[in-house]
Chain A
Amino acid sequence: MDFSFNEEQTLIQRQVAQFIQRDYEWEKRQALAKSELGFSSENWKIFADLGWLGISLSEESGGFGGSALETMIIMEEFGKGLVVEPFLETIVLCAGLIDSCGNKDQKSEILKKVISGEMHLALGFVEPQSRFNLADVTTEAKKKGDGFVLNGFKSVVMNGPSANNIIISARISGKQSEEEGISLFVVDPKLEGVSLRNYPTVDGRRASEITLENVDVTSSCLLAEEGKGFKELEKAIDSATLAICAEAIGAMEVLYKTTVEYTKIRKQFGQAIGKFQVLQHRMVDMFMEYEQSKSLLYMATIKQAEKAEDSKKAISGLKYQVGKAAKFIGQQAVQLHGGMGVTDELNVGHFFKRLTTIITIFGNTDYHLKRYSQL
């Protein structure tokens, strides 16, 4: 049994942590979140130069052949800095998906540009009625000559505004919620019939509503085998769930530590409020929720890296715990900061907002508890 990182992994962790501390000050992060783009292209270039973008992708795709462990390390550090660059969307979710099921051409054309930082990606997997059910797809794909024609609607597509290619799940056969008959397509948003409504989200990031109206795509845009996209989609969402949990755990660590520090300094009734037992116990509970989450993160990441049979179940268990912990730690960090906790000025409220969206993204606690019990 060994929970320590190897030399290479320790190096990456130090590198990312150093970047957050040195180049990602809070004011800079806030300015980025409020900018038109929503993140920094210069930072993205740095990520590419340092090799972070290709670290977990396979060597045949031009990556470094790392595993879920490297992704976890990067995402946890990103969580501590509340990084707004779309690493989760472009790299973990989409590049990971193409790496896993794309053909040779797709890998060489798309992933090469992604790894060098020249291309962004997004995944359209949510529809207004689908909630967390990945198989609930009404967007349809019909064969037309050599290619396909797409019609439908995708909602809250994270990183949609910056994506040069958007992967869309569409139904080619079967009933609305059947796993069979779902295909994945790589769609250039500049194609005729694709329209995007872009907007900011509460965590300072960007998303799009995407309408597809008689969009003609060639057969080379088809990702994975026709009608067999569900398994690949589910796999990609699971990897991304693991990654977003690592991000949440980084954010939770900052929040519980910030809260402890604040209650040592803030004085009322002639003493530091951290001396009050009721607040001490609250913070102990925050700390324990964080530790329990981290334990499940390690467990699930190891299972995922080893491609264990029960890794799906482990990930659902983790997301359930993280959802529970993120809510408790987020809300209590605000509560214990008093009025300051609800101000836009303090970073606490912004960590709370990101944790709030993470609770929903890729399925909330109810969804994952149910999935856990069914797996």
Chain B
Amino acid sequence: MDLVFSQEDLDFQEEIRSFLTSEYPLDIKERQDNRLPFEPEDVIKWQKILAKKGWFAINWPKKNGGTDWSPTKKYILQNELAVANTPIIIPFGVNMCGPVIYTFGTDTQKRQHLPGILNSDVWWCQGYSEPGSGSDLASLQTKAKLQGDNYIVNGTKSWTTLAQHADWIFCLVRTETTNIKQEGISFLLLDMKSPGVEVKPIITIDGSHEVNTVHFDNVKVPTENLVGVEGQGWKIAKFLLRHERTGIAGIAALKRELKRLKEICANVILGEGSLLDDPSYRRKLEAAEIELKATEFTELRTLSQISSGGAPGPESSILKIKGTELQQTISELFIEMLAYYSHPFFNETELGSNEAVGPDYAGAAMPHYLNFRKVSIYGGSNEIQRNVIAKAILGL
């Protein structure tokens, strides 16, 4: 056992830091540091900068344009990027659809889609959930009927993140109705510009437009856009779930936010001292810090298991639960720190000017708190993750 990085790791860390100093655009940095709402152009620009350096598709094999890096090296990069608060990478292309295509796709599909993902020229979104199929994803009802060289797709996907910017969507669709609901599901790639695709915004309680409903009305999809074998899409869906590495950047971002919160608290005057001198608030901060430490090391233990050849198993459910609970706790502590100054809110109405009220860090806190209610719901709700642990780890 040891907790020390090798000289090579430390050199790499230095290399990332000097890269960030010279290559991280100042205008993007300013928007990120001020916690301004997400700009798609910023993310694309930043992903392209990373790709040029060869630091974008780090989870991919080298032969497909990736890196073949060790888990430690990936961890170091993701950690440094999060500490610097660079834009969060949009996972749908590079972390989700890309691996599916190079693992299950045809050579034509690889040639058609992988370059666009690697260069961030094509924006992908994920068509999984439906109005009637959330936690019970396998009950999905969007139908794809074979008609000559095309599938005719009909149905509705919901909670589709950033579909309003997407060029393509990867979808789970039902090609056959069977007794076992996991059978008869297929994995389709669908051009969002196809006739019959309609994207409708869903506005969330923080006032933002992040998710959408996507309707398919007799959308023609060429059969060559089927990935893998017809009716075996569930296998791909499960592969993707295993591939979704939820942790890493999440932990580093949490550490950054907790540090920032502590720094702000030290300057929040309370009587003779600061908010940090308030024992009840302080106790909550420290408890979050300990929980975060534990989660970080649970993740490091998982990582070291992968480096010594093991596969990430249901343990990733622990990271999903603990990581999202911490996200919510820290966003709550921001609200508590602000007290009354968490209340001014400009997202709901267009009344008056949008100039911030109170300290400059106040404006983003409430929208974040509200928005983060989603994290214990999405990606397999935390109730479902606990079911996974009960069944797969505890054998209950």
Contacts and interface: CB of A to CB of B under 8 A. Distances in A.
Interface of A: 33-34, 36, 126, 128-129, 131-133, 136, 155-156, 177, 197-204, 207, 209, 267-270, 273, 276, 278-279, 331, 334-335, 338-339, 341-345, 349-350, 352-353, 356-357, 360-361, 364, 366, 369-370
A131 B207 CA distance: 27
B235 interface: no
A366 B343 contact: no
A209 B281 CA distance: 26
A335 B375 CA distance: 10
Given A268-B139, A334-B373, A366 B281 contact: yes
Given A199-B344, A204-B348, A269 B383 contact: no
Contacts of B357: 155-156, 197, 199, 209
Contact of A203 (B158, B343, B359): B343
Interface of B: 129, 132-136, 139, 158-159, 202-205, 207, 211, 269-271, 278, 280-281, 335-336, 339-346, 348-349, 351-352, 357-359, 366, 369-371, 373-374, 376-378, 381, 383, 386
24 contacts: A133-B271, A136-B271, A155-B357, A155-B358, A156-B357, A199-B346, A199-B352, A200-B349, A200-B351, A202-B370, A268-B135, A278-B383, A334-B373, A335-B376, A335-B381, A338-B377, A338-B381, A339-B129, A339-B211, A342-B371, A343-B204, A352-B373, A353-B205, A357-B343
Contacts of A198: 351-352
A332 B118 CA distance: 40
B336 A364 contact: yes
Given A207-B344, A360-B340, A366 B351 contact: no
Nearest to A349: B205
Contact of B135 (A269, A356, A369, A370): A269
A350 B370 CA distance: 11
B70 to A, nearest CB: 37
Contact of A360 (B342, B345, B370): B342
Contact of B134 (A126, A339, A356): A339
B134 A128 contact: no
Nearest to A363: B339
Contacts of B351: 36, 198-200
Given A197-B357, A338-B381, A339-B129, A155 B341 contact: yes
B45 to A, nearest CB: 29
Contacts of A132: 339
Given A203-B343, A268-B135, A268-B139, 6 more contacts: A267-B132, A269-B135, A339-B129, A344-B207, A345-B203, A360-B335
B260 to A, nearest CB: 20
Contact of A202 (B136, B278, B345, B373): B345
B167 to A, nearest CB: 24
Contact of A268 (B136, B207, B386): B136
A202 B343 contact: yes
Contacts of B335: 356, 360
B203 A201 contact: no
Contact of A200 (B158, B346, B359): B346
B205 A207 contact: no
A360 B383 contact: no
A34 B348 contact: yes
Given A156-B344, A353-B370, A366-B278, A338 B204 contact: no
B377 A339 contact: yes
Contacts of B280: 366, 369-370
A256 B101 CA distance: 45
Interface of B (DSSP majority class): mixed
Given A202-B366, A338-B381, A344 B344 contact: no
Interface of A (DSSP majority class): mixed
A344 B204 contact: yes
B345 A200 contact: yes
A131 B159 contact: no
A349 B383 CA distance: 20
Contacts of A128: 341, 358-359
A156 B205 contact: no
A276 B371 CA distance: 26
A339 B339 CA distance: 27
Contacts of B139: 268-269
B158 A339 contact: yes
Nearest to A330: B373
A346 B159 CA distance: 15
A156 B366 CA distance: 15
Given A268-B135, A278-B383, A342 B341 contact: no
8 shortest A-B CB distances, which residue pairs? A349-B205, A202-B345, A268-B136, A156-B340, A344-B203, A201-B343, A366-B280, A269-B136
Contacts of A334: 373
A338 B339 contact: no
Contacts of A341: 373, 377
A278 B343 CA distance: 33
A356 B357 CA distance: 18
A274 B378 CA distance: 19
A338 to B, nearest CB: 5
A151 B380 CA distance: 55
Contacts of B386: 278
A338 B159 CA distance: 11
Contacts of A356: 335, 366, 369
Contact of A34 (B129, B205, B349, B369): B349
B202 A343 contact: yes
Contacts of B207: 344
A199 B202 CA distance: 25
A207 B344 CA distance: 8
Contacts of B376: 335
B195 to A, nearest CB: 28
Nearest to A334: B373
A105 B170 CA distance: 72
B346 to A, nearest CB: 7
A323 to B, nearest CB: 11
A355 B375 CA distance: 20
Nearest to A157: B340
Contacts of A209: 357
Contacts of B374: 339, 342
A156 B381 contact: no
B7 to A, nearest CB: 47
Contacts of B129: 339
A269 B134 CA distance: 10
Q: Which of A199, A361, A364 has the most CB of B within 10 A?
A: A199
A201 B373 contact: no
